[in-house]
Amino acid sequence: MAEEKKSDAEEPREAEEKQEEPKVKPEKKAVAKPREEKPQKAKKERKGVFSYYKIDETGLERLRPFCERCGSGYFMADHKNRFTCGHCGFTQYKHNEAASNADKTLQPSTD
């Protein structure tokens, strides 16, 4: 009977040991995805003072105007319809012939 008690006592210990072991999940295999080709980016223009001038046979020509408030040395930024100074914020609007012709057609003639 003593042997029977030992075997009964061992069984719960074995059951406890089995419960304590953590379950190991199988690892997922990494699937290799095909790489998509990215479109190439256009090269940006280099910034610098040399981009504000155009050199011809006749001489040097400024491509952008100087700021009227700040004076020489402060170039104005070139936007679609205006020039703007980044230093003081002065804005000078561009005059194009298409807009001035449209204004003339809208005005009634005095003839």
Q: How far is CA 104 from CA 77, 99, 100, 107, in A?
A: 29, 9, 6, 5
Indicate the length of the chain as a whole number: 111
Query: Using one digit for the tens of pLDDT, what is the confidence trace for 13-23?
Result: 555 555 666 77
At residue 14, the pLDDT reads: 56
Query: What is the phi/psi pair of residue 16, to 5°?
Result: -65, -40
Give the pTM: 0.44
> Does residue 32 carry a pLDDT above 70?
yes
**How far is Cα 85 from Cα 94, in angstroms, rounded to an integer?**
14
At residue 79, the pLDDT reads: 92
Q: How far is CA 101 from CA 79, 104, 105, in A?
A: 21, 5, 6
